[in-house]
Amino acid sequence: MDDERTEPTTHFGYREVPESEKGRLVGRVFRSVATRYDLMNDLMSGGLHRLWKAFALGIAAAKPGERVLDLAGGTGDLAAAMAGRTGDKGLVILSDINEAMLGVGRDRLIDKGLTGSVSYVQANAEALPFPDNTFDLITIGFGLRNVTRKEQALAAMCRALRPGGRCVVLEFSHPRSRLFGRLYDAYSFGIVPKLGRYVARDEESYQYLVESIRKHPDQEGLKAMMEGAGLGRVEYWNLTGGIVAVHKGYKL
């Protein structure tokens, strides 16, 4: 009798890959696009990503003196904004599993003069290297869909939050209108990879990013996932017809 166990698989875009491989593949994507990540975001969204992030920051409502963790923080725009709100007595930790993205984010925050109340940690969202009950607020912007085990990452966030602390997830989601969804698909698959080819010199990575959005849970699915991880009072807001959603939950 064969006692070998088949390794669980997960999605990398529309491909099924072993769970152990996804982190490496996602890492390759973001090392490739790190230096042109913000430019591509502006081009792909027509600048709307800045409004989506501003809305999420309002929902997060970072306060003076709070301890904040920004996961998959990439180039640091959310962390920079929250550091301005938490002030000198607070702390914002910019974290990303990808060293290239974290390096770009660190350099940009240093250039902004944000040095005293910001720290940097390269970490896997599924295994956060922080004690229980550490943070008042944890945010993750456009990063959860790239995590191999989303439930595990959300549970780790819940563990690291102090009681009463909040978790805010900004992520691409599912359009509410079928017609709008078809138009969105036509744009995403017809235009975005070509922008990746000509601007970031990497069509394949942006093909993956477009596909990864379709594999991510819809609004209600992510809400249920957050609740299953131990977060309570979970609610969400649709932006731009549901292309993007902001979810917020609390550690009760």
Taking alpha carbons only, the member of 171, 170, 169, 166 closest to residue 67 is 166
Confirm if 92 and 116 have CB atoms less than 8 A apart.
no
Confirm if 142 and 171 have CB atoms less than 8 A apart.
yes
- Quote the CA–CA distance of 186 and 193 in Å, as a whole number: 12
Confirm if 137 and 71 have CB atoms less than 8 A apart.
no
141: β partners: 170
Q: Are strands 161-172 and 231-239 parallel, antiparallel or unpaired?
A: unpaired
Residue-wise pLDDT for 115-138, tens only, equals: 889 999 999 999 999 999 999 999
Confidence of residue 4 (pLDDT cuts 50, 70, 90): low
Superfamily of the domain at 9-251: Vaccinia Virus protein VP39 (3.40.50.150)
Residue-wise pLDDT for 30-61, tens only, equals: 999 999 999 999 999 999 999 999 999 999 99
pLDDT for res 7: 86
State both tokens at 242.
Answer: 């549901």
Is the pLDDT at 1 greater than 80, yes or no?
A: no
Confirm if 249 and 227 have CB atoms less than 8 A apart.
yes
Residue-wise pLDDT for 140-179, tens only, equals: 999 999 999 999 999 999 999 999 999 999 999 999 999 9
Confirm if 240 and 173 have CB atoms less than 8 A apart.
no
Instruction: Map out the domains of the chain as residue ranges.
Output: 9-251
Q: In terms of C-beta density within 10 A (0-12 exposed, 13-18 middle, 19 or more buried), how is residue 64 classed?
A: exposed
Confidence of residue 5 (pLDDT cuts 50, 70, 90): low
pLDDT for res 6: 80
Confirm if 139 and 67 have CB atoms less than 8 A apart.
no
CB atoms within 10 A of CB 14: 12
C-alpha distances in Å from residue 85, one per residue of 15, 78, 134, 142: 41, 11, 18, 21
Taking alpha carbons only, the member of 249, 93, 237 closest to residue 171 is 237
